Structure 1
């Protein structure tokens, strides 16, 4: 017989220790543990609700719950037209010197699987126009470069080369920056080299326009070969090929000033120098276009009186101004930066007007 009084059965503890409440994390309350008092015997472990009292429940915030906000599928925005709301991005460890966690011109990366959108896409999604005109300062530079072309053409062919080479260099650089490809030194150098080759071919052939077409064909083939040797993705190679071909074509076509008659260059360049600042006036777009064309026609008449074109300079001036306004519009598209305005915004109006100057100059001579 055992004379010991009946005692509740205690769970076997091989180490002779009683269960203790686990320590709570700093700053976090431990609410899942209620102790084992009041639950004696095997009943405390057979009851599922009581057993859950010994299970640790984490009430705090982890790194994932802090920085990754779940987006319900029904409320997830369209990846193509997503508008990113400003939020504080998670802190990332510092990378190499000069490295930036987000690329320029793009919104912050999202945690809901949305693609990053460009400034132009954001403007369209928010109902804003992606077209920003360069303004008066780039227009003034265009006017200055146009007057330099007009004055140099009156001096002689080799004097015309100086402002023409500047125009071709700025055209090649501005086109790549307009397409968001920067620095793109190889493509800019290739386009500018094509322009110099076309100028040399024009001088060697007696300013024959066939030199422009021949150089353009060779440079398209050269750009194709260089892009085929690239190790970039197929989409990036195609995008680079089109940008390189377009930049080379614009820079080479600007050599039409060298192929055109000196009087036509003088009239056309003066007309562009007047049309672009008139387009930059604070007027509604249709009104500014009309004012620009009328001003260019008047400038063409005035410059034609100095040259042999006479009143026919009005037609040449209006045609050159129409092409210049197309180049001005292209430089304004896709939410451009100030650097684009001071490169493509300055050069594209004059470069686009070069074919009209050559064709109309030959027709009106």
Structure 2
């Protein structure tokens, strides 16, 4: 798709959707169980995304346990015991409202992204784990849309590294792009809770027509939440690679007025940059953040890597850490000028530079 997702609207919608669902549920109950999560909203995919997040958090804790040097977690008996423990634990999910709200908001945003641009979504999933195969295979139980594309990605990617997986994803997406289910159809169940305004979600752009096959959401019968399932082998195909679309926010579909320059064309003026973001009423993404890693969205991660850091995610991650260690916005911009703007030939008036600087601004907004 060539559409731009309005992240301001999506975040607002996710918040309102979550507030409505949680107010109705927690009005009479104190805790949410796993089985109740599966039946919580009309969208099975949203519900499964919540379970997927819980599964990932459990895996993070498990990896911390495995780091203990005194026990052999590869022992067969230990492996079997852990698997059984995971299944038992999944039947003992118990979450209070304040802890559940952020889970549902993230699940809703991920679901919308999966429906509208599976390329960007799966790109983000690949980056979550140094071993994409195991992470993607474990996630397959919870992702019920674009199943053919996802199964083929796992099958063809096999045990390859992150970069090889991204290349495979681009090739497979190119093959399946015209057969993907319409996002309108996939997301229609959200309207039963809160109508989704497509004119605000993707402003001033042509939405995908609803000609793709309709995908019915599968019924879930008493799932064992953390159990993996096998992935079938699929025939090999080749195609020219496609690349994820760069999504940038806009304010309710309005045509943006030209912004003043951030500098002299070679370096960024921190005073001009700060003044611009201070004066903006709508902004890109509001609210202060503790670190750049905390504030970056999936689509921004891809955009910054590709357009600002020569496709090198390690270089971007190093930049994040260096900027986070700065004491002020001015110091951060000086570091950016010294290391990146000229050396990587940044176009200072480009949208990607503007969004990157806005992320840095949010880091130092209250300092």
Specify if TM > 0.5: no
Q: TM-score range, shorter-chain basis?
A: under 0.3
TM-score, normalization: structure 1?
0.21
Q: Who wins on radius of gyration, i.e. which is larger?
A: 1
